[in-house]
Amino acid sequence: MTQKQVVVIGAGFGGLTVARSVRHADVVLIDRTNHHLFQPLLYQVATAALSPGDIAWPLRTVFRSQSNVRVMMDEVSSIDRAGRMVHLKESPPIGFDILVVAPGARHAYFGHDEWEPFAPGIKDMTDAVRLREKMLLVFEETERRRATTDRQDGLTFVIVGGGPTGVELAGALAEIGGKVLSKDFPSLPPDALSIILVEAGPRILSGFDASLSTKAAHALVRMGVTIKLSSPVSAIQDNGVMVGTEWIPSENIIWAAGNKASPLLKTLSVPQDSSGRIIVRPDLTIPDDPWIFVIGDAAHCPGKDGKPLPGVAPVAIQQGRYVANLINRGTVPAQRSPFIYKDRGMLATIGRAQAIAQFGPLHVSGLVAWLIWCFVHIFFLIGLRNRVRVMLEWVWYYFTFKPGAALLFPRRSASPDKPSSTDNSRT
């Protein structure tokens, strides 16, 4: 018999794991970019602690030695279940025997998409580099203004969402404010910078045990972050955000709340949940189609507690392994045992030597948790090169507080009236 054709959509943690684990079948891995992105560290690119190249890995080199995998840089426009075809933006359609759908998610604004331009989020490298550009430019501009004029106004960052991303961003910004600004921007003392973390719920990091949430909150406050709990956002404009009944003026608002699964999933025409995820069956397939799998952030898959599993790397990776096994063994639906997520624990970092970790009953915080966090993240990075680079950057930053990736490049294409505007896009 001829080899089965497996098409994998998306090279995130889930899709990458499938493509690396499938044997004895031809795999076509499709992604809009040419690299795998280590999303958990994306906020460090956004805060200039790491360079894009440190947490991204070219797919072609990842699969160089795996001859059954073909990498395609293209975007899937729709999935034709009946015809067993995926339609692409730039190439002819590709047929499949088995399809793995892992397109991930984007940030969502609870029906207020008009907020996006004023409160960007960070889901991919484009977002992260844009945010870094904005942060560095506003530092430079404020320094220039305070140094050359008598306007001594400060700088306020508002981060919406007290989940891991929001907390890690707030911590990283506070670190820059406390340690970098004062050294590098003489006219911009730390007290000129205020960082406000806004959470609609009663506590931050609600996925963690309450005691750890409290520890994290205390650590953030010690670093100078203002935390506003039970404070839903009701309006965002270019010059500020309405939090509860309070208007906070700020031109630097970052969105770290809410996800929406890829619009591509609609073309499967099967039931989706409120945030656009496909409600998958216990074997991660879609209804009535045992060889179309949906995994990662795109899948609504209930955990032990009945609540859908969180959109984190370990879930996507374990789902990828599970699906790859079914494919490798050709297990028919009747013989499939349901996917069960093994929760190996949760980690969140707040800043330098500050983190919380929860392994079932075991709770750890402070330096030890931070070291565990560093180790785990280094370990899960793909490839020796990136591990060494990231470790080097962290050690370097830990001792010097010199962010190596704080780069702004000139935009020559800028309009003549704003010639020294920069293009941080380029970094």
Residue 251 near its own copies by CB under 8 A = no
Q: How far is the CB of 119 from its own copies (least distance, A)?
A: 16
Nearer CB in complex with its own copies: 73/242: 73
* Interaction between residue 3 and its own copies (CB under 8 A): no
Instruction: Tell me how far apart the alpha carbons of residues 179 and 400 are, in angstroms, rounded to a whole number.
Output: 9
Q: Which of 5, 33, 272, 331 touches its own copies (CB under 8 A)? A: 33
Asked if residue 344 binds its own copies (CB under 8 A), the reply is: no
- Asked if 102 contacts 8 with a C-beta cutoff of 8 angstroms, the reply is yes
Residue 400 C-beta: closest distance to its own copies, Å = 8
Strand 25-31 relative to strand 4-9: parallel, antiparallel, unpaired? Answer: parallel
Distance from CA of residue 357 to its chain's centroid?
19
**Is residue 138 part of the contact set for its own copies (CB under 8 A)?**
no
Using the rule CB under 8 A, give the single segment among 8-16, 47-55, 211-219, 341-349 that binds its own copies.
Answer: 47-55
Nearer to its own copies, 138 or 279 (CB): 138
Q: Are strands 278-279 and 299-300 parallel, antiparallel or unpaired?
A: parallel
- The reply on whether position 218 binds its own copies by CB under 8 A is no
Under 8 Å between Cβ of 15 and 39: no
Which of 38, 185, 291, 339 touches its own copies (CB under 8 A)?
185
Burial class, 130, CB count within 10 angstroms (exposed 0-12 / middle 13-18 / buried 19+): middle
Should residue 2 be labelled a site residue for its own copies when binding is judged by CB under 8 A? no
Q: Should residue 398 be labelled a site residue for its own copies when binding is judged by CB under 8 A?
A: no
Span near its own copies by CB under 8 A; candidates 33-41, 151-159, 216-224, 341-349: 33-41
Bridge-based pairing of strands 85-88 and 76-80 is antiparallel
Among 1, 2, 82, 90, binds its own copies (CB under 8 A): 90
246 labelled catalytic: no
For residue 291, the surrounding DSSP H or E stretch is: strand 289-294
Q: Which of residues 95-134 bind its own copies (CB under 8 A)?
A: 124-126, 129-130
Which residue, chain included where needed, has tokens 């990136």? 386
Tokens of 25: 């079948």
Residue ranges of alpha helices (H) inside 76-228 are: 125-148, 164-175, 182-184, 210-222
String of DSSP letters for 313-331: HHHHHHHHHHHHHHHHHT-
Tokens found for residue 302:
């209930």
Stretch that binds its own copies, among 139-147, 189-197, 226-234, 322-330 (CB under 8 A): 139-147
The length of the chain, given as a count of residues: 427
List 75, 97, 209, 283, residue binding its own copies (CB under 8 A):
75
Would you count residue 422 as binding its own copies (CB under 8 A)? yes
Which one from 168, 175, 199, 393 is the annotated catalytic residue? 168
The DSSP code for 121 is B
The correct pick among 60, 218, 222, 329 for binding its own copies (CB under 8 A) is 60
- Residue 68 lies near its own copies (rule: CB under 8 A): no
- Does position 89 interact with its own copies (CB under 8 A)? The reply is yes
Q: Pick from 23, 32, 218, 222: which binds its own copies (CB under 8 A)?
A: 32
| 144 contacts its own copies (rule: CB under 8 A) | yes
For residue 286, give the 3-state DSSP assignment. strand
Q: Is the dihedral of CA 325, 327, 331, 332 positive or negative?
A: positive
Interaction between residue 151 and its own copies (CB under 8 A): no
Residue (245 or 420) nearer to its own copies, CB: 420
DSSP characters for 296-317? Answer: GGGEE-B-TTSSBPPS-HHHHH
C-alpha 98/C-alpha 330 separation (Å) is: 10
Is residue 272 part of the contact set for its own copies (CB under 8 A)?
no
**Per CB under 8 A, 419 contacts its own copies:** yes
Does position 35 interact with its own copies (CB under 8 A)? The reply is: yes
Query: Closer CB to its own copies, residue 129 or residue 200?
Result: 129
Could you tell me which residues come within 8 angstroms of residue 71 by beta carbon, excluding any fewer than 6 positions away?
11, 29, 31, 34, 59, 60, 63
| CB nearer to its own copies: pick between 105 and 280 | 105
CA distance 297 to 278: 9
Q: How far apart are CA 55 and CA 115, in angstroms?
A: 28
CB of 176 to its own copies, least distance (A): 12
Q: Which residues contact its own copies by CB under 8 A?
A: 32-35, 51-54, 56, 58, 60-61, 64, 70, 72-75, 89-92, 124-126, 129-130, 136, 140, 144, 147-149, 183-186, 384-386, 388-389, 392-393, 396, 402-412, 418-420, 422-423, 425-427
Task: Give catalytic residues, as residue numbers.
Answer: 168
